[in-house]
Amino acid sequence: MAFYYDKPSHTFSEYLLVPGYSDHTCIPSNVSLKTPLVKFKEGEEPSISLNIPMVSAIMQSVSGDKMGIALAKEGGVAFIFGSQSIESQANMVLKVKNHKAGFVVSDSNLTPDSTLEDVLKLKEKTGHSTMPVTIDGKHNSKLLGLVTSRDYRISRLDKNTKVSEFMTPFSKLIYANVKDSLSTCNDLIWEHKLNTLPVVDNNENLCYLVFRKDYDSHKDNPNELLDSEKRFIVGAGINTRDYKERVPALIAAGVDVLCIDSSEGFSEWQALTISWIKSNYGDKVKVGAGNVVDKEGFEFLADSGADFIKVGIGGGSICITRETKGIGRGQATSVIEVAKARDEYFKKHKVYIPICSDGGIVYDYHITLALAMGADFVMLGRYFSRFEESPTNKLMINGTFVKEYWGEGSNRARNWQRYDLGGATKLSFEEGVDSYVPYAGYLKDNVESTLAKIKSTMCNCGALSISELQQKAKLTLVSATSIVEGGAHDVIVKDKSGTSN
């Protein structure tokens, strides 16, 4: 006979936090949002921690290299989507790692025989006005000069004029050696009043560019998440089909953490994938797994060797798994049960395995609820898809800017590996939709606003850290009437122009 749960599962919107005592130290500036990303033994520190409890979803419409750089600047991690060729995904990882928090690999390069017309076309394509001139137009070849917008005037030069005639030659450039630190490079920039500093090796081959604007950016991003070589930390999604080819390529590109991207993680396929990775690379390569919604699923992936475990099935805004297959569970209930299982596992084995709440986040306060219920961090798709840095097109529809957003289980993504049950190599039916989300601007501004809300709520609960929040939080289920009461009601709300609606 089938097993029946005696209580219904619940979503985040059915809960509220009850305020607790807060003393004079409970102010947002004192709150730390640092949280473990991967498992660690009792008494030890995790090899990778997040400075904010937010990672971006493994989705074509969310996590590309631009998202990887932008999110790492704020202290989180992007997981580059895996539903693309191995070479393409590895290149995205490489772009994030090569950004090197100040050291940028040039993607706008010219040869001496390139023309002004080539310069203008390249500028339009990349948006970059600074272009190194190398002997063969490659980013790592002998540097011959530099072209910036100050080197030419379109009205004065024929578009067929060769770059060699108006570039600033290498002999007149101020440059640094590849062995110089970022601090040394920034000193040269300020000393010589430069906007761009080329970095070359002993043979004058171009290695990087350092920009004045990135110095300011670094100062504006104190939470930057960096590895031991001062490069941005980045993750990548993998599947249970081609991992033997994909994982080595991603590791060669410098990926810091992997995650199996699957709609359902309680399967032998995930155990086999983790086992192969650990057998070939040991604990040096970190890999998350999921998704699960109960104790049994957590324990299975924990025993399989997962470094973190994702929680949630069917709760994403573009996911129709529950509607299509009748599989899933309320996100709040899932997080609560799996968090309890994680704590029991830690008590028994002295190994703490972080859990990630994936899906079901509609409002910013849902993130705080997920953390209070036991999640160590959250994975967000719709939230990040709205930003300038997501890989999708920005369109205007009915007078409003929107960005495209589609699920990995949609026909557009055709990510059949994510829903693979060992059968045919095709997408049999859709488990995601194709949609639009309102354009919200740049990641930094939005994340700062979200974090301010989280910190303020934590102070209301008397907590200055995520672990303290989980110990002190008091949560209550609310009725349907209470949910209505929680929003604006019984008033005529003014619109943004100041008129009522």
286-292 vs 143-147, strand pairing mode: unpaired
Alpha carbon 207 to its chain centroid, in Å, reads: 26
35-36 vs 49-50, strand pairing mode: antiparallel
Q: Is the dihedral of CA 254, 259, 260, 266 positive or negative?
A: positive
**Active-site residue list:** 319, 418
Helix or strand (DSSP H, E) at 121: helix 116-126
Q: Cβ neighbours of residue 25 under 8 Å, at least 6 residues apart?
A: 464
If we measure between CA atoms, which residue out of 208, 251, 205 comes closest to residue 99?
A: 208
Q: Cβ neighbours of residue 453 under 8 Å, at least 6 residues apart?
A: 364, 365, 368
Asked whether the beta carbons of 277 and 287 are under 8 A apart, the reply is yes
In whole angstroms, give the CA distance from residue 305 to residue 281: 13
Asked whether the beta carbons of 487 and 28 are under 8 A apart, the reply is no
Asked whether the beta carbons of 217 and 73 are under 8 A apart, the reply is yes
Count Cβ atoms within 10 A of the Cβ of residue 341 and give its class: 0-12 exposed, 13-18 middle, 19 or more buried. Answer: buried
Read out DSSP for 211-264? Answer: EHHHHHHHHH-TT--B-TTSPBP-EEEE-SSSHHHHHHHHHHHT-SEEEE--S-
